[in-house]
Amino acid sequence: MERVLIKNLEENELSKISGMIKTIRNTKYMIFIKLKDRTGYIQVSVDKIKEELAEKCAALTTGSFVSFTGKMVMSEYVKDGGKEFLPDDVEVLSLAEAYPIEENALPDKKLDYRWIDLRCDAKEYIIPIQSAFVKYLRDYLYNQDFTEIHTPKIIGTASESGSSVFEVKYFNDKAYLAQSPQFYKQMAIASGLERVFEVAPAFRAENSNTNRHCTEFTSFDLEFAYINSYEDVMHLEEEMLTYALGKLKENFGDIIKERFGQEVIVPNKAFPRIKLFDLYKELEKRYGYKIPEHDIGDLNAETEKLACKFAMEEYGSEFLFITDYSKAKRPFYHMRDENDVPQGYDLLWRGMEITSGSQREHRYDHLKHNADEKGLTKDVEFYMQFFKYGMPPHGGFAIGVDRLTLLLLGLDHIRDAQFIFRGPNRLYP
Ligand code: ATP
């Protein structure tokens, strides 16, 4: 018999359902099993009058995978929709041992058994919602004529922005794990692709144990040509996020509220923007906060939090664009204006940076000047080649998928926003 998904069960039709046992309750006359498949739950009620079946079901355990054959009926005694499955037969696909972790286990222990941890009510939706979020972002870009690309993650030179890279042995040579697809995205623009994006792992050898950093994360990266300024980049990001949040609210708004206590707020106006040094002034005036000397020209975690508080109070916005960073704190490939101000931005959401973006410098001479100034001439020789044979004006940004998930669902730590977490002390499972 073909399997029927729980969502598609028809009343009184003989059907076979398959899934995982979420809970099992053995009472005097009945056994109640909460069965889950990818479309939802159903209560399977076994009457002990059916002795042979009841005996088999009594031996089942939480986490076991089973198939039941029987009929779905409507019952006024069953909560959440009143559907109940009355089985005639059970097939045990895999019998689970007792779980090695409880819901209140320590975070590290839970990571050891991540696949079991993901079965619990509070977490079972994290990955499906993340998947939907990325799908909506992707959909938006496909509708805007973007091409999805796949760039190498094993690279020959330690590139770019100074973030630490992981070194790996590559036969008799040395290679590195890509910390971002930045150079290859731009190479794609040079190859004539015009609008590209990639959703892929990025690696950072940063020994930072914060709630928002991982050593491997999923970067949602894009780049597009024929822009007039970085305003075009910000505008595209604003539209893309607004579209995706709208879809999330439509399809997952209720479940996000119920399971995570978070409201999905779809922006209804342009995201506010502020220059970095004006932000410093606002934060000092409003909250008496003065940025530490060593962070001047950039943001730190505290500034990001307060900046979002300010955006909410002043503009009623969860998002805030910050522009006009110091060139010393921005990568050499950001275009600069006549006053040497980088033409880029960071985007903050719910107290955290989620994106860096900019118009890129596409003019060879200017780019070389910027690279020389930062002492990178040798390191970026191969990248500079892309600009010698024609390159249109372009810009782009990168969003961290894990951070988006963390903030969307109001999770405490990024380890829960990743299917499998990678941090300085975490290489398993
Ligand atoms: P941060 O200052 O927060 O460390 P960054 O300035 O190094 O971030 P970028 O290199 O600009 O970040 O990367 C773009 C985006 O990628 C960030 O806004 C963030 O969403 C995500 N990201 C960067 N580093 C990490 C990381 N270690 N773990 C998770 N996400 C990250």
The string of DSSP codes covering 125-175 is THHHHHHHHHHHHHHHHHHTT-EE----SEESS--TTS----EEEETTEEE
Q: What is the pLDDT of residue 158?
A: 76
The mean pLDDT value for 23-40 works out to: 97
d(CA 133, CA 322): 24
Task: Round to whole Å and give the CA distance between 291 and 374.
Answer: 24
Q: Where are the alpha helices (DSSP H) in 31-105?
A: 51-58
pLDDT higher than threshold 70 for residue 67: yes
Q: Are 135 and 129 in contact (CB under 8 A)?
A: no
Query: Which of 114, 195, 204, 362 is labelled catalytic?
Result: 204
What value does the CA radius of gyration of the chain take, rounded to a whole number of Å?
A: 26
Q: For residue 418, what pLDDT is reported?
A: 97
Residue of minimum CA distance from atom 7 in ligand 1: 163
Q: How confident is the model at residue 34 (pLDDT cuts 50, 70, 90)?
A: very high
pLDDT of 160 > 80? The answer is no
Mean pLDDT value of segment 261-283: 97
Give mean pLDDT, residues 124-138. 98
Arithmetic mean of pLDDT over the chain = 96
If pLDDT is split at 50, 70 and 90, which confidence band does 96 have?
Answer: very high
So what's the pLDDT on residue 111? Answer: 96
Percentage of the chain beyond pLDDT 90 is 92
Q: Which atom of ligand 1 is nearest to the CA of 204?
A: 27
Range 42-69 average pLDDT: 97
Answer for the pair 180, 399: CB distance below 8 angstroms, yes or no: no
Q: How far apart are CA 235 and CA 270, in angstroms?
A: 8
Instruction: Please check whether residue 195 is in contact with residue 412, taking contact to mean a CB–CB distance below 8 angstroms.
Output: no
Has residue 17 got a pLDDT over 70?
A: yes
Rounded Cα distance between 37 and 134, Å, is 22
Q: Taking 60 as the threshold, does the pLDDT of residue 162 lie above it?
A: no
Query: Which run of H or of E encompasses 226?
Result: none
- The binding-site residues of ligand 1, defined as CB within 6 angstroms of any ligand atom, are 163, 204, 206, 213-214, 217, 219, 353-356, 398-400, 402-403
The answer to whether residue 360 is catalytic is no
Confidence of residue 79 (pLDDT cuts 50, 70, 90): confident
Separation between Cα atoms, residue 352 and residue 213, nearest integer Å:
11
In this prediction, residue 161 has a pLDDT band, given cuts at 50, 70 and 90, of low
Residue 182 CA to chain centroid, in angstroms?
19
| Distance from the alpha carbon of residue 232 to the mean position of ligand 1, in angstroms | 21
Distance 400 CA to ligand 1 centre (A): 6
Q: Indicate whether 112 pLDDT > 60.
A: yes
What mean pLDDT is predicted for residues 81-97? Answer: 96
How far is C-alpha 68 from the geometric centre of its chain's CA atoms? 36
For residue 200, the cross-strand partners are: 219
Q: How far, in Å, is the centroid of ligand 1 from the Cα of 11?
A: 50
Known catalytic membership, residue 204: yes
> Which residue of the set 114, 273, 350, 403 is catalytic?
403
Do residues 197 and 220 make contact, with C-beta atoms less than 8 angstroms apart?
yes
Residue 159 pLDDT > 90: no
Give dist(CA 37, CA 269) in Å, integer.
39
Residues 6+ apart with CB under 8 A from 337: 343
Q: Which of 353, 358, 362, 415 is catalytic?
A: 353
38 catalytic, yes or no?
no
